[in-house]
Amino acid sequence: MTRSPCPPISDADWPEQISDLRDGFAGNLNVYRTMAHHPALLRAWAPLRQHIVKDNRLGPVWTEVVILRTAVRFGSNYEWAHHVSRSRALGMDDARIAAIREMPDGEDGLIVRAVDALIDNKRLTLDQEAELATVIGREAVMDLIATVGFYSVLGYLLQTYQTPIDAHIDAEMVANPLQEVAENPAREKLPPNQSKPTK
């Protein structure tokens, strides 16, 4: 395999112009150590990340549903593993998380279908937007759209530069792999070109 031209940057090689970001979110994750090859991009990324990850109107659990489904659709093992860990920390059980690989019921299913529509059709229909707005609020709908876009960009970077899963997350997934749920024949399957990430 060809070596990535942009592996995660070590502390020793961290760019001086973004030294203040190293001890925060950017230094904690390989995805941002990869983005640090472009210091101006990482600097510009930081305030948007604050809104998408911390301050959006979806709330933490629905945000994880959006991110996990985006990871499934991109085949991003990195984001899937990291957000399985984060979802568990928020109290989501493995059955709920695993269902996002397929087509969950209820509000999770509504959100998953919205993510799929954005990726497949590049838009929500007005009926779909109205249904979402009734359930989660219009500002949350806009944040859902922005979150899919945000994690799509990260997916492109992760896949292009073959960024490795951070060691502590990899160790967690090995020690405590996601428990699969028994197959439900009534649950909608992903089309063949929408395969779930491998472990």
Are the beta carbons of 52 and 143 closer than 8 angstroms? yes
CA angle at 60 for the pair 176 and 133, rounded to the nearest 5°: 130
Whether residue 11 is contained in a domain is answered as: no
Residue 146, token pair as written in the block: 């922005």
Closest listed residue to residue 55, CA positions, set 124, 139, 131? 139
Q: The whole model's pTM is what?
A: 0.89
Q: What is the pLDDT of residue 2?
A: 79
75 domain residue, yes or no: yes
Determine the structural domain holding residue 45 and report its residue range: 21-175
Tokens describing residue 163 = 């960024």
72 located within any domain: yes
Do 52 and 147 touch, CB atoms closer than 8 A?
A: yes
Give a yes or no: residue 8 inside a domain. no
Residue at 188 is within a domain: no
State the CATH number of the domain containing residue 105. 1.20.1290.10
Per the CB < 8 A criterion, the answer to whether 183 and 63 are in contact is no
116 domain-assigned: yes
Rounded (5°) CA angle 12-16-21: 90
Token output for 189: 């399957």
Q: Show pLDDT as tens, one digit a residue, over the chain (199 residues).
A: 679 999 999 999 999 999 999 999 999 999 999 999 999 999 999 999 999 999 999 999 999 999 999 999 999 999 999 999 999 999 999 999 999 999 999 999 999 999 999 999 999 999 999 999 999 999 999 999 999 999 999 999 999 999 999 999 999 999 999 987 544 433 333 333 333 443 3
- Structure confidence at residue 181 (pLDDT): 57
Residue 129, domain member (yes or no):
yes
Give one DSSP letter per residue of 125-180, joined into a string: -HHHHHHHHHHH-HHHHHHHHHHHHHHHHHHHHHHHHTPPPPHHHHHHHHHSPPPP
Helix, strand, or coil here: 56? Answer: coil
Number of domains in the chain: 1
145 is a domain residue: yes
The rounded distance, in Å, linking the Cα atoms of 69 and 80 is 8
